[in-house]
Amino acid sequence: MRTFQPMRILIYSFLLFTCVHSIEAQKKINSKIDQSVTAAELEAHLSFLASDEMRGRNTGSPEIDIAASYIATQFKLAGIKPGVGASYFQNVELERINSPKSGEITIGQDVLKLKDDFLLLSGGSARLDKEIVFIGYGTIEDFQKIDVKDKIVVAYAGLPTSKNPVQAVMTDGPQKKRIATSHGASALIEIMALPGVPWPGLTKFLSAERMITKTEKGTEFPHLLLRNFESPGVQALKESKSSKGSIVLEAGLAGPVSAKNVLGIIEGSDPSLKQEWIAISAHYDHVGVTKLPNNPDSIYNGARDNAIGTVALIEAAKFFGQNKPKRSILFLALTAEEKGLRGSEWYSEHAVIPLEKTVLNFNCDGAGYNDTTIATVIDFNRTTVDPLLIKACQAYGLTLKGDPAPEQNLYERSDNVNFAAKGVPAVNISPGVKAFDSELFKYYHQPADEVGTLDMHYLEKFFRVYVYASYLLANEPQRPAWVKGDKFEEAGKKLYAK
């Protein structure tokens, strides 16, 4: 045994040296990040993007164009090159849809009128004469049990556990629509059975404009909200689960909308890894200005959703401008997320960096936060990058937590899903959300979401986590991948087989 002692000592010494070297390297990077990402600078960026003067950064507004120029200027200051030839802007071709002036739904013997009885959540003109099916709350399981292909689906708004009508309409509704379309339904009608929002208030709020990409013309999926009342036709439908019916809506295109994604690039330093690209993304739009009854504040500033993500993107660009990564990085500020993920949808169909060369989408988007001890990734255990995200959080005293509400399928409600649908491994990180509770909805899509309500001490840690995670992802030798068996694994195999 004594013969092998010198070799054993040599091995132990090598391992100790490697460990110490790794710790020192991490400390050096963290020190650089600490110097680069400061609360004062973060607050300055946030205060500009979420100011009253920016009027909620609504897609198609003059103010969102100012925001786009601000982001492009920050990219340029950081030394990040333009992503579209000599320009930082990718035009996104959108069309504005006029709200229908009239419309009818027939369910059995009922004839229901637009505004009096139902409202348009999304979609445009429609003339459908179809079978109507009632499927309860329209959960994923409900859609799996009932054949809805080529049928009009009727469901209760929200989920069985829903208590918040705003959440039911703004959060649960879009996801239910995506599930309905994926199962081949022709339209979705949701019954607003939750109390708390007067129908006249909903009527005014939902009279806002809608937008589609030009490639969608003629394929708008009607998504409607029905007033809660027990008419004979609706009652019979609930009991029998099936009925004959129709939808008639008349809405014309109001013309093109000026919209653009903001793109910057930095080429990697490693001869091999620089052929692989990471798309670091965040949407920079919000919902604009809406006057509501009994509320003098009409500006939806969008500090949390998503000035936070936009500033995270800016901070990452600033850091990598001074610390070149091994992989190449696309910095992608996306427009029209609030209009149905339109900016990322457009990019995924008109990618500047070929998607087969894009090995990861690292998105930053969230509804806010209600736990300052954690960061949240709604896609825990879906890709192989979790250990790197955990390491980034630990470096700044935060714990990484997963999806706080799996039943809501949050993964498919942000821009990351348009990358995932094409096969690109995609993760979304946000400030800490432990539950969808009243604290979260106090600010989510509310005029109260202003910079003055933010905890900058916590956010400084979160932004540093984001930049460090981006650094680890851009320098990790192993290529990101979907976890075996994930919903999008097959799409990934097809994409990267090209």
**Of 352, 431, 384, nearest to 86 (Cα)?**
352
Pairing mode, strands 328-334 and 260-266: antiparallel
* 161 lies in the same domain as 264: no
The DSSP bridge partners found for residue 428 are 363
Same domain, 440 and 308: yes
- 3-class secondary-structure state, position 122: strand
Q: Are residues 363 and 427 in the same domain?
A: yes
Number of C-beta neighbours around residue 473 at 10 A: 22
pLDDT digits (tens, 9 = 90+) for 2-53: 555 667 666 666 666 555 556 677 889 999 999 999 999 999 999 999 999 9
Cα separation of 346 and 313, whole Å? 19
Say yes or no: 247 and 263 in one domain: no
Rounded to whole angstroms, how far apart are CA atoms 251 and 447? 29
pLDDT of 200 reads 83
DSSP notation for 30-76: HHHHHHHS-HHHHHHHHHHHTSGGGGGGBTTSHHHHHHHHHHHHHHH
- Domain of 177: which CATH number? 3.50.30.30
Q: Is residue 278 part of a domain?
A: yes
Does residue 179 sit within a domain?
yes
Taking residues 178-189, report their average pLDDT: 92
Look at residue 403 and tell me if it is in a domain: yes
**Closest Cα to residue 22, out of 481, 397, 472, 329?**
472
Supply the pLDDT for residue 171: 65
Residue 135: φ, ψ to 5°: -125, 35
Q: Both 212 and 239 in a single domain?
A: yes
Same domain for 311 and 202, yes or no, is no
Same domain assignment for residues 158 and 274: no
Span 213-224, pLDDT tens digits = 776 554 578 889
Residue 134 belongs to a domain: yes
- Residue at 329 is within a domain: yes
The reported pLDDT for the residue numbered 207 is 67
Q: Tell me if 25 is assigned to some domain.
A: no
End residue of a domain, out of 209, 239, 255? 255
pTM value surpassing 0.85: no
**Are residues 83 and 208 located together in one domain of the fold?**
no
pLDDT band at 78 (very low <50, low <70, confident <90, very high): very high
On whether both 176 and 263 belong to a single domain, the answer is no
Q: Which residue has the tokens 């179809």?
A: 130
Mark which of 235, 255, 275 sits at the end of a domain: 255
Count of alpha carbons within 13 angstroms of residue 233, beta-carbon side: 16
What is the CATH number for 294? 3.40.630.10
What is the domain extent for residue 247? 101-255
* Inside any domain, residue 13: no
| pLDDT value of position 180 | 93
Residue 123 pLDDT class (50, 70, 90 cuts): confident
- CA dist 36 and 318 (Å) reads 8
User: 309, 362 in Cβ contact below 8 A?
Assistant: no
Q: What is the pLDDT of residue 359?
A: 98
Distance CA 352, CA 361 (A): 14
Residue that is written with structure tokens 């709200």 in the block: 99
How far is the CA of 184 from the CAs of 158, 164, 188, 327, 391, in angstroms?
A: 20, 28, 11, 40, 41
Summary mean pLDDT of the chain: 89
pLDDT band at 1 (very low <50, low <70, confident <90, very high): very low
Q: What is the pLDDT of residue 312?
A: 98
**So what's the pLDDT on residue 218?**
47
Q: Per-residue pLDDT for 431 more than 70?
A: yes
Kindly indicate the confidence band of residue 441, based on its pLDDT and cuts at 50, 70 and 90. Answer: confident
Out of 240, 255, 270, pick the residue that ends a domain: 255
pLDDT in tens, 228-258: 888 899 999 999 999 999 999 887 666 789 8
Same domain, 195 and 121: yes
| Token couple for 403 | 């999806």
Mean pLDDT of 468-475: 98
CA distance 141 to 189: 18
Nearest of 198, 129, 196, 133 to residue 162 by alpha carbon: 196
Q: Is the pLDDT of residue 358 over 70?
A: yes
Considering only residues 297 and 494, tell me which one the structure prediction assigns the higher pLDDT. 494
Shared-domain flag, residues 155 and 77: no
Higher pLDDT, 290 or 431: 431
Q: What is the pLDDT of residue 12?
A: 61
Q: Are residues 380 and 347 in the same domain?
A: yes
- 264 lies in a domain? yes
Give the model confidence (pLDDT) of 275-307 as tens digits.
Answer: 999 999 999 999 999 877 667 888 999 999 999
Task: Name which of 187-196, 292-301, 348-357 the model is least confident about.
Answer: 292-301
Query: Is the pLDDT assigned to residue 344 strictly greater than 70?
Result: yes
Total count of domains within the chain: 2
The 10s digit of each residue's pLDDT in 376-423 is 998 889 999 999 999 999 999 999 999 998 766 678 789 999 999 999
Q: Which of 15-19, 149-153, 199-203, 327-331 has the lowest mean pLDDT?
A: 15-19
Amino acid at the residue 111: V
